[in-house]
Amino acid sequence: MNLREAEKTIAELREQISRHDYLYYVLAEPEISDQHYDKLYRQLLDLETQYPDLVTPESPTQRVGGQPLEGFAQVTHAVPMLSIDNTYNEGELREFDRRVAKGLSGERYTYVLDPKIDGVAISLRYEEGQLVLAATRGDGERGDDITQNARTIRAIPLRLKAGGDLFSGKIPEVVEVRGEVFWPTADFEKYNKQREAAGEPTFANPRNATAGTLKQLDSRIVAQRRLSFMAHGFGRIEPLSVESHWDLFQRFKAWGIPTNPHIKRVEDIDAVVREIHAWDKKRHAMAYATDGVVVKVDCIDQRRKLGVTSRSPRWCIAYKFAAERARTRLHSVRFQVGKLGTITPVANLEPVLLAGTTVKSASLHNFDQIERLGVRVGDFVYVEKAGEIIPQVVEVDEKDRPKDTRPIMPPEQCPVCSSKTVRDEGGVFLRCVSPACPAQIKERLRYFCGRDQMDIEGVGTALAEQLVDSGLVTEFADLYCLKDRREELVALERMGPKSADNLLAAIEKSKGNPLSRLLAALNIQHVGVNTAELLAERFGSMDALLAADAEELQEIEGIGPEVATSIIEFMHGKGGKRTIEHLRSIGVNRTEPKRNRSAEYRYFFDKTIVVTGTLERFSRQEAEDLIKSRGGRTAGSVSGKTAFVVAGKNPGSKLDKARDFGVEVIDETEFIIRAGMSS
């Protein structure tokens, strides 16, 4: 395939993927399977890898950012994101309608009803059809810039599509979409099962998990969690050429913005009440958690007449359904051990029907929560489905407490490996700190082999479980001894000679990885890829790092007392020392290549540089790789410690942040000169 053919094929694949995203998220009418979609995506990714000059920011492959952010910049909303008044009863709903009628002085009005998805409100800003900013609600006036995370959500279009003949194909210069990011029920439950299988604490409910996910500094983590999005409102739209919410949302749909398929327009408050009662009966069958219905005046001009209070609009109200709960008895408590040794108490219950399913167990989260509830084994308790998904104990019926109840005591030893448990200093978690704990080793092994760690292809969850269950691997160093146990490896399910040889080759190759990858793979608490790179760059070898004290560690930007303590405890703890020594004994590399200190790269060495916007000669990743090759560091956000910012086209809020901090901004031409590539 020549360049011209590749360009044509890439354009066709992008168009196909965009069309299938529209069919799936906007029309809810998918035409192909997930497997077929993934095949198209892989074809595009392979071609773009082969022809990197053809990669564009709008490509579906560019949704996930490269390096994790250092933090989130604050942005001011063009139109404040106000909260909505709530009601739980029909009387207050009708009182709201009387206020609307009075405020409109006898004008005829209609309502739009929108199911209230239990998620996290965000604002998306499109300029000339392209997504330029995504922000959380924050305090309503200012929120966090989460553009990098929002780009990973496939339901959010990176570029709006023309609306066809119906709307003359024109999209306003500025379109601000307000909506809800949420975790679909099936995907949330699947992810929680994976965490449970790995011995990690499960998330309590989709909403809190979604909020936590959007706060992740590494967009790759966000991409793994399959969040979704639906629009429910709007901010600034210039020019605004429609008169009603209903008509605007028809345009949203045509532009490729997902809207709720259950949105309705009704004539009066009686119809509102009927629809709310009907929705209460069918909401449990939806693919996402809902906790009510939002009632909005449809006409935009009438909304302006009704106005807003200091915190909420006068033209809408949210009718919320009461959470379902059930009373049952807590028979016993079991303790689950997670990847980092976190011990989570889980209540074993007398089976009870709740929101259409039989509940036999419920999370107690941690031992501080047990103390707050005052719950004991044998108690009668009330259980709710948080976010209508995950059962949790929310209250104890102390008036009917049996005489034979007994306290729930935190285990002094790990329930799996019998190691002594340790409570986080100032925290609420109890942990098993033994790196050899069987309940942790499977997930730690999978993590050790991950792409951003030792990059041993083929060691996923299933194989990691087999390797540990068969006794072939009890610690990381055992991986490198598998070549001496090839016959046993071949005998594993779905392995075979060829797969075994490929795995052994990948394992052997990983021995030569730099120290930064090894440090990231060791699963040291609070040490991710970025911190591992900082440590490796500063100390250069494992021996030098082992000799460092907490004070030296904290001299590194981004490493504070908590992270330093975690590193010291791992490096000098019995389990960590054994792990490091065993990896050394089988020949795993323990050094980091020295960064280029050449005088010609003085602009880069030991400096933090931010790349923003679209460059003509480089992709974002290529520019950041070049900076690192010249001895520099890259960051995802601008701070006072940023040396300079490389700004391409459409640089967004990072350019404003650079100006606020007085940080130097250079263009691509100057970047090329400083990199010594001008010739």
Give percent above pLDDT 90 in the chain: 35
Whole-model pTM: value is: 0.52
Instruction: Kindly provide the b/e burial profile for residues 291-310, where b requires at least 16 CB atoms within 10 angstroms of the residue's own CB.
Output: bbbbbbbbbbebbeebeeee
Rounded alpha-carbon distances, angstroms, from residue 597 to 474, 513, 593, 607, 632: 41, 21, 12, 12, 10
Token couple for 238: 């210039």
- Residue 545 main-chain phi, psi, to 5 deg: -65, -40
Secondary structure letter of residue 635 according to DSSP = E
Give catalytic status of residue 8 as yes or no: no
Q: How confident is the model at residue 198 (pLDDT cuts 50, 70, 90)?
A: low
**Burial of 393 from C-beta contacts in 10 A (0-12 / 13-18 / 19+):** buried
Give the ranges where 74-123 is alpha helix by DSSP (H): 90-103
Cα dihedral sign, 192-198-202-207:
negative
The rounded Cα 240 to chain-centroid distance in angstroms is 33
- Is the model more confident about 43 or about 595? 43
Residue 165's pLDDT is: 39
Active-site pick, 116, 296, 628, 654: 116
Predicted confidence (pLDDT) at residue 122 exceeds the cutoff of 70: yes
Residue 164: pLDDT band (50, 70, 90) is: very low
Beta-bridge mates of residue 151: none
In order, the DSSP letters of 295-340 are EEESBHHHHHHH-B-SSSBSSEEEEEPPPPEEEEEEEEEEEEE-TT
Share of the chain above pLDDT 70, in %: 93
Whole-angstrom distance, CA of residue 351 vs CA of residue 328: 8
Identify the pLDDT of residue 167.
Answer: 46
CB 215 within 8 A of CB 482: no
What separation in angstroms does the CA of 288 have from each of 135, 210, 276, 284?
A: 22, 12, 17, 8
Distance CA 604, CA 672 (A): 12
| SS3 assignment, position 618 | coil
Helix 90-103 vs helix 269-282: crossing angle, to nearest 10: 140
Q: How many CA atoms lie within 13 A of 12 on its CB side?
A: 8
Element (H, E) at 291: strand 290-297
pLDDT of residue 273: 94
CA atoms of 331 and 380, how far apart (whole Å): 9
Higher pLDDT, 600 or 526: 526
Of 33-37, 147-151, 623-627, the poorest mean pLDDT is in 33-37
**Using one digit for the tens of pLDDT, what is the confidence trace for 431-441?**
887 867 877 88
Q: Tens of pLDDT along 201-231? A: 677 678 878 888 898 888 888 888 889 999 9
In sequence order, which ranges of 198-314 are alpha helices (DSSP H)? 206-214, 219-224, 245-255, 269-282, 300-306
Residue length, the chain? 679
Distance (Å, whole) CA 71 – CA 76: 16
d(CA 638, CA 434): 38
Structure tokens of 613?
Answer: 């916007």
**At which residue do the structure tokens 């739009």 appear?**
112
Domains of the chain: 3-62 (1.10.287.610), 75-320 (3.30.470.30), 325-407 (2.40.50.140), 438-585 (1.10.150.20), 599-674 (3.40.50.10190)
